[in-house]
Amino acid sequence: MEKMVNRSHVLVVPLPGAGHINPMLQFSRRLVSKGLKVTFVITEFISKSRQLGSSIGSIQLDTISDGYDDGFNQAGSREPYLSSLHDVGPKTLSDLIKRYQTSSIPIHAVIYEPFLAWALDVAKDFGLFAAAFFTHACAVDYIFYNVYHEVLRVPVSSTPVLIEGLPLLLELQDLPTFVVLPDSYPANVKMTMSQFANLDKADWILINTFYKLECEVVDTMSKVCPLLTIGPTIPSIYLDKSIEDEDDYGISLCEIDASLSINWLSSKPTASVVYVSFGSCATLSSKQMEEIAWGLKRSNFHFLWVVMDSEKEKIPEGFVEEVENKGLVVNWSPQVKVLANEAVGCFFTHCGWNSTIEALSLGVPMVTMPGWSDQQTNSKLVEDAWKVGVRAKVDEHGIVRREEIALCIKEVMEGDTGREMKMNSKKWKELAIEAASEGGTSDTNINELVAMLRSTK
Ligand SMILES: O=c1ccn([C@@H]2O[C@H](COP(=O)(O)OP(=O)(O)O[C@H]3O[C@H](CO)[C@@H](O)[C@H](O)[C@H]3O)[C@@H](O)[C@H]2O)c(=O)[nH]1
């Protein structure tokens, strides 16, 4: 018989993607370290394809279905996938909760990603405490909040845009693409807006940021939502070091030889390598990939470039052989470990929020090349609010050319501006550690949440 567990049991439900699983899994580790029991929900397909057992470290795993148990590639595109997840997810989540309710370890609370707004409805049907976990920057969440409440009308056509609490005026190129070109991303716009439709039923809203990074917009948004900043959600060993045995970053969604990147980096001098990655769902044009390749070569720095298998054929022929003394191309990397490696001097990034906050927390300055969604706004903040990076400019065809890439990398890796960015990066790293350490803003907020979760038992 299952032993009676005298702990509050929290179910954590992310959107099934690296940019969502990673931060919510790291956050779960914090909850476990503070004495809670956590069951982390993944899809049947992720569980099967990654051969994950019933737990990962101290976190229990369980599954729901997205309707594509043999692989989400079968969906063909984002729209049918999200629609299937929306149709099948609630029933399987509900079944999962029911299963636990009749066991000795019932679920007391649900922490869900608000892109899955239906998870909040399911939690409330069971009368459970529920907290939304936003995986974007607070600035971006507040922009979308303003769109949902029609304070900001889309598509935005007149700029600059001033949003209360945001430290900067925003031009079209600084706004989330869903706000500027909503018709180009109907499924994503629908999902993004759905976050707010039932949000008033959530007991708390958690944001993966830290207070000093976004204090003005956090204060502004706090006036309308019960908000807690709980980030950065990177492993504790890189921050306050309060949690032991936490060397890995969690669930990798593809085969990875982690030691390959780390061993390669360890043979390189301090701050001599450009780390290049555009996240877990980038699909760049062949032309753009070509420009990146030759831009990296032209910069003349060492580089570690993540190119997912689905993108590999876009690398120019002969490139990998031509640069083998300078660069390494891998299909996935242990990114946080890479960014923490002293050989890395700069991160050429798409500015997904996780990549951005990971770089900020590990003190790595950036060259940014935002693609879609929230990345434009993150890039603007990196360059003009936090002053830890430079945005590579696109030409009249929307392509970032090799000359521009090489120039931006040089600007960050050497020279006076580069030195300033490094000093600013160091400052944000210290503030991230401060927020996560005992008595820091995020630690205090997490303790407040934990106390609340304990009282739900
Ligand atoms: O080789 C790699 C590449 C990435 N990562 C990790 O994968 C995550 C990627 O997340 P993110 O940087 O946020 O990029 P996306 O995967 O593109 O994330 C999606 O989700 C984010 C959170 O909502 C949004 O900010 C992005 O715009 C959206 O594209 C990060 O934790 C990285 O550390 C690795 O571990 N190894």
Tell the residue nearest (CA) to atom 4 of ligand 1. 279
Question: Which residue ranges make up each domain of the chain?
Answer: 4-242+437-455, 258-432
Would you state the pLDDT for residue 251? 80
CATH of domain 4-242+437-455: 3.40.50.2000
Would you state the pLDDT for residue 3? 43
Would you state the pLDDT for residue 245? 65
ipTM value for the complex: 0.99
Q: Cα separation of 21 and 11, whole Å?
A: 13
Would you state the pLDDT for residue 249? 60
* One-letter identity of residue 387: K
Tell the residue nearest (CA) to atom 5 of ligand 1. 335
Would you state the pLDDT for residue 2? 41
Would you state the pLDDT for residue 244? 80
Would you state the pLDDT for residue 268? 98
Q: What are the pLDDT digits (tens) for 223-265?
A: 999 999 999 999 999 999 999 866 666 788 788 888 999 999 9
Q: What are the pLDDT digits (tens) for 146-199?
A: 999 999 999 998 999 999 999 899 999 999 999 999 999 998 999 999 999 999
Handedness of CA 439, 433, 429, 172 (dihedral sign): negative
Regions in the chain scoring below 70 on pLDDT = 1-6, 245-249
Would you state the pLDDT for residue 6? 58
Mutation choice for ligand 1 from 281, 353, 356, CB with most ligand atoms inside 8 A: 353
Mutation choice for ligand 1 from 50, 355, 376, CB with most ligand atoms inside 8 A: 355
Tell the residue nearest (CA) to atom 35 of ligand 1. 335
> Structure tokens of 219?
């204060």
Tell the residue nearest (CA) to atom 19 of ligand 1. 19
pTM above 0.95, yes or no: yes
CA-137 nearest atom, ligand 1: 25
**Helix, coil or strand: residue 310:** helix
Give me the CATH topology for the region 258-432. Rossmann fold (3.40.50)
Mutation choice for ligand 1 from 112, 254, 280, 369, CB with most ligand atoms inside 8 A: 280
Tell the residue nearest (CA) to atom 10 of ligand 1. 19
Inter-helix orientation angle 353-362/18-33, to 10°: 50
Do 258-432 and 4-242+437-455 fall under one CATH topology?
A: yes
Other C-beta atoms within 10 Å of 42: how many?
23
- List the beta bridge partners of residue 125: none
Residues with C-beta less than 6 Å from any ligand 1 atom: 18-20, 22, 135-136, 249, 277, 279-281, 306, 332-333, 335-336, 352-355, 358, 373-375
